[in-house]
Amino acid sequence: MASIRVDSAAVEWSPGRRFFGKHAIHDGSELVQVKVLSDRRGEGGGIAMLMKFMPPPGKVIKIIAVARSDEHAFTLTGERSTKAGQPLNAPVDYVLNTQGQPHSAFIASELTAFVFYSGEPDDVTAMEVVDVEARA
């Protein structure tokens, strides 16, 4: 098979509803946009994409999912947060969620990540926009 080469800047962002369902819209605004860079699931491979998360001001996007295949996520810009909207105590820019692993993410500011699934993308069981929790 030939190499796949993509100019990611030339690929249009598309609504994240395809992967995150109807909850990827909040008050009429898209919370997630994606750029599919390659999709070889039809040949038994995986899917690679860029994902951009855009929480409303003063809000946190809360995602709960189960990995349907190994998920490699590398943060390119921004950072994950706590449910209080604060940056994580230990910065993390790479996460591997192995197949079958339940996991969650809290995103309080714009974040762009490169995500590769070795097969099917996550089963997103819940996605909601919540107020930033007051700190104790």
In a domain, 6, yes or no: no
Which pLDDT score is estimated for 132?
A: 84
β-strand partners of 129: 61
Domain count for the chain = 1
Residue 32: give its domain's CATH number.
2.60.120.10
Which pLDDT score is estimated for 134?
A: 57
User: CA 123 to CA 65: how far, in whole Å?
Assistant: 5
Structure confidence by residue, pLDDT tens digits, 27-69: 999 999 999 999 999 999 999 999 999 999 999 999 999 999 9
CA distance to 1, 10, 17, 110, per residue, from 30 (Å): 36, 20, 8, 12
Q: Which two tokens stand for residue 59?
A: 């809000």
Binned at pLDDT 50, 70 and 90, residue 136 comes out as very low
Model pTM above 0.85: yes
